[in-house]
Amino acid sequence: MSKQYLQDQILLAAEKATGIKIEAKNLTLEKPKQAAHGDWATSIALSLAKELKAKPRDIAQNIVDSLELDASLVAKTEIAGPGFINFTLTSDWLYKELTGLLSQGSKYGQSQMGPSTLLGVPKKAQVEFVSSNPTGPLNVGHGRQAAIGDSLCRLLEATGYQVTREYYFNNAGLQMKKLAQSVFLRYQEILGKKIDFPEDLYQGEYIKEIAGNCRREKGDSLTEADLEYFKQSAVAVIFEEIKATLKRMGIVFDVFYNESDLYQRGEIESTLQALKGQGLTYESEGAVWFKATQFGAEKDRVLVRSTGEPTYRLPDIAYHLTKFKRGFDLVIDVFGSDHQATFPDVLAALGALGFDPSRIDVRIHQFVTLMRGGEQVKMSTRKANFVTLDELFDEVGADAARYFFLMRRMESHLDFDLDLAKKKSDENPVFYVQYAHARICSILEHAKEKGVVRAAGDLLLLKEPEEIKLIKSLLEFPELVQGAAQSREPHRIPTYLQELAGIFHNFYHQHRVVTEDQALSNARLDLCQATRTVIANGLGLLGVSAPEKM
């Protein structure tokens, strides 16, 4: 992998030339905007100029003089402009790497970044995502989180981790009581009683449907004493719908961890006692408080209400303690922005109890706004006052939904353009990438029909600028995957695929693949096959299909 190799060599040379040890994160290595400036460029000399009180070009020259580069990989190193160092890769390296790509096929892009060196045992990672209360259908916000979480899992697996996909099933606490009460009151309405339905209970047709199911199953004699039955009935129906929705998205969880198990196993009480034992709690106004201000919070937090009901924080702390006990090396929590104020308290409590909170990587995503015709879509026609994820799938399909959810950084608000997601044209990003894959499949099929006998092509025949540019783009994929996994940024994949599809389409429009020259045809067919492989592998990391026909 050329970028990693160059980064390592530049850091070594810079320390040798200047005596300054530079952190890898502080080294910038980017693709120049102009092809004439090489394949990679670094501005390290400019960043060191102030500290060394020297001219950037002089620093650059010293670094270049200290470089010990593999001549089979780097053809040329030169200093440009105010002090940039540009690197040009050898053609032989490009062809060798392209041959490796073709031989690896569906495994291309995978690495062993994650495994432990101890007996080759993979590191264990747990990714918690969605974890929606079973109080209603999944909405588009849950959909974005589902796409992000599952793509992170795929990236971690591609880099060697053993991954557990986990859904924290909130089947206890205040919201469950509200759900049971909601269904009971709708049941009362079905029986003909006049009910003043409180605004803070769960609205929506789905509650009425569940109440109707309860009546058909148990008749007209149920009372408020049967709230547990109403709760269990509602949870069973809603959770099956949640799992069905996730299945439409191609997501299957390994573990559904029940919040109620924390109570039954005494985890909640033992966690509370452990916090008390560390002197991190106190009682006031009948409630139990966590001393969050000791850890930088603006105010202390309630752990147990005066009613005896725990707030979210206490079960969350207890739940995360189980993650440590289960031996995960890495824990990633994907949360919506409504968790922004909660998770710091959980991490602080874990640290106070002697666990390493740095093993938990919390990722917060922002909201989704659906747009149609330039206007915000606010209401669902069927359920409650939100658009369900199933409704979105019905309109644009699961592929488009997943791709659009992942196109932007998770920290950015997402405007989801429904009109664009349905277009069958190059304007639609997911269509554009999938069409590149389908076009390649069509080219390969056309070659068969023309009687072209595929053989390993002489890749040295690929010398046109469009061909070289395409090869270089393909060879960026492994480092892209590794970088996306390390930074927890799945949006890097669609950004790359968009650019790759454009480079391929340009190559296709400039050059015939199947020609009278059998050797050149085979070389170009190999290039097409390599492109098909990378697009399919990239879409796979997003959980998006790679169709052969469109």
Q: What is the dihedral of CA 113, 477, 439, 471, to 10 degrees?
A: -140
- State the pLDDT at residue 380: 53
Please give the structure tokens belonging to residue 206: 């789905």
> Which is nearest to 313 in space by CA: 275, 257, 360?
275
C-alpha R_g of the chain = 28
**Contact (Cβ atoms closer than 8 angstroms) between residue 207 and residue 196:** no
E strands, 174-259, where? 255-258
Rounded to whole angstroms, the Cα distance separating 294 from 357 reads 16
Residue 200: φ, ψ to 5°: -85, 0
Diameter over CA atoms, the chain: 89
Separation CA 363–CA 411 (nearest Å)? 8
Position 398 scores a pLDDT of: 97
Looking at residue 310, the DSSP 8-state letter turns out to be: B
Q: What is the pLDDT along the chain (550 residues), one digit of tens a residue?
A: 678 889 999 999 988 988 888 887 778 888 888 888 888 999 999 988 888 889 999 999 999 999 999 898 899 999 999 999 999 988 889 999 999 999 999 999 998 776 664 556 678 999 999 998 888 899 999 999 999 999 999 999 999 999 999 999 988 878 889 999 999 999 999 999 999 999 889 988 899 999 999 999 999 999 999 999 999 999 999 999 999 999 999 999 999 999 999 999 999 999 999 999 999 999 999 999 999 999 988 999 999 999 999 998 999 999 999 999 999 999 999 999 888 878 899 999 999 999 999 999 999 999 999 999 999 987 554 445 678 999 999 999 999 999 999 999 999 999 999 999 999 999 999 999 999 999 999 999 999 988 887 777 799 999 999 999 999 999 999 999 999 999 999 999 999 999 999 999 999 999 999 999 999 999 999 999 999 999 999 999 999 999 999 8
Separation between Cα atoms, residue 437 and residue 342, nearest integer Å: 43
Phi, psi of 278, deg, nearest 5:
-90, 5
Match 């990672």 to its residue by tokens. Answer: 125
Measured from the Cβ of residue 531, the count of other Cβ atoms closer than 10 Å reads 26
Q: What angle do CA 528, 486, 102 make, to 5 degrees?
A: 20
Rounded-to-integer distance, Cα 406 and Cα 252, Å: 18
Tell me what pLDDT residue 115 has: 67
Segment holding 50, helix H or strand E: helix 44-52
C-alpha–C-alpha distance, residues 526 and 503, integer Å:
16
Given this model, what pLDDT does residue 35 score? 80
Integer Cα distance of 50 and 18 in angstroms: 13
Quote the pLDDT of residue 18. 87
DSSP state of 388: B
Judged by DSSP in three states, 370 sits in strand
Nearest to 538 by CA among 473, 485, 477: 477
**pLDDT of 382:** 44
- Provide the b/e sequence for 30-55 (b: ≥16 CB within 10 Å): eebeeeebbbbbbbbbbbbbeebeee
* Secondary-structure percent of the chain, ordered helix, strand, coil, rounded to 5: 55, 15, 35
Q: Find, among 435, 455, 439, 458, the residue nearest to 508 by Cα.
A: 439
Cα 445 to Cα 438, 451, 506, 507, distances in angstroms: 11, 10, 20, 18
pTM of the model: 0.91
What b-and-e string marks burial along 90-119, b requiring 16 or more CB atoms within 10 Å of the CB? beebbbebbeebbeeeeebbbbeebbeeee
